[in-house]
């Protein structure tokens, strides 16, 4: 790719990145993790879960913490404030990933632009003679 085409592409990527930044710079409060349902037995031999193998289904919040996965009991239903907060976190993570991707492409483009503009001392000398 020639230098002017590269400049054009880098400029477009930078605009895209700038728009993404506007969207992530003021995130609302978020709760990190993902929600999922899990069934378990309570251990009571007279309960339906033991008698009929019908497990108690509840929601849990799972998130990585210091290299481990931490599970927190939420309940039979997920309150909407929690569902929204978790959704915001997940959306925010996606936007951050897009910014990092744009950064990598910008950096790559800048390297290509530099390489397109680099000439050897011999080439530079020839032009100045
Ligand atoms: Zn039970």
pLDDT at 129 over 90: no
Task: Dump pLDDT digits (tens) for 88-117.
Answer: 999 999 999 999 999 999 999 999 999 999
Residue 105 belongs to a domain: yes
* Tens-place pLDDT, residues 13-30: 999 999 999 999 999 999
Is residue 125 in some structural domain? no
Residue 85 within a domain = yes
> What's the total number of domains in the chain?
1
Task: Confirm whether 128 is domain-assigned.
Answer: no
- Count CA atoms closer than 13 A to 58's CA, side-chain side: 13
SS3 84: helix
User: Residue 75: pLDDT band by 50, 70, 90 thresholds?
Assistant: very high
- Full-model pTM: 0.78
Q: Cβ distance 106 to 8 under 8 Å?
A: no
pLDDT tens digit sequence for 116-127: 999 999 999 998
Instruction: Please tell me the distance between residue 41's alpha carbon and the centre of ligand 1 in angstroms.
Output: 5
- Within-domain flag for 65: yes
Instruction: Mark the residues whose beta carbon lies below 5 A from ion ligand 1.
Output: 42, 47, 49
CA of 56 to the centre of ligand 1 (A): 6
Domain assignment of residue 124, yes or no: no
Domain that holds residue 63: 3-119
What whole-number distance in Å separates Cα of residue 74 and Cα of residue 63?
13
């Amino acid at each position: 790719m020639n230098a002017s085409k590269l400049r054009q592409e880098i400029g477009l990527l930078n605009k895209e990145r700038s728009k993404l930044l506007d969207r992530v710079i003021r995130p609302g409060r978020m709760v990190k993790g993902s929600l999922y349902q899990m069934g378990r037995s309570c251990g009571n031999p007279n309960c339906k879960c033991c008698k009929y193998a019908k497990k108690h289904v509840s929601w849990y919040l799972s998130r990585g913490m210091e290299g481990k996965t931490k599970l927190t009991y939420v309940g039979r239903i997920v309150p909407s404030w929690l569902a929204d907060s978790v959704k915001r976190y997940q959306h925010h993570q996606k936007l951050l990933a897009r910014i990092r991707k744009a950064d990598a492409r910008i950096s790559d483009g800048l390297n290509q632009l530099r390489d397109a503009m680099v000439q050897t001392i011999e080439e530079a000398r020839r032009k100045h003679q």
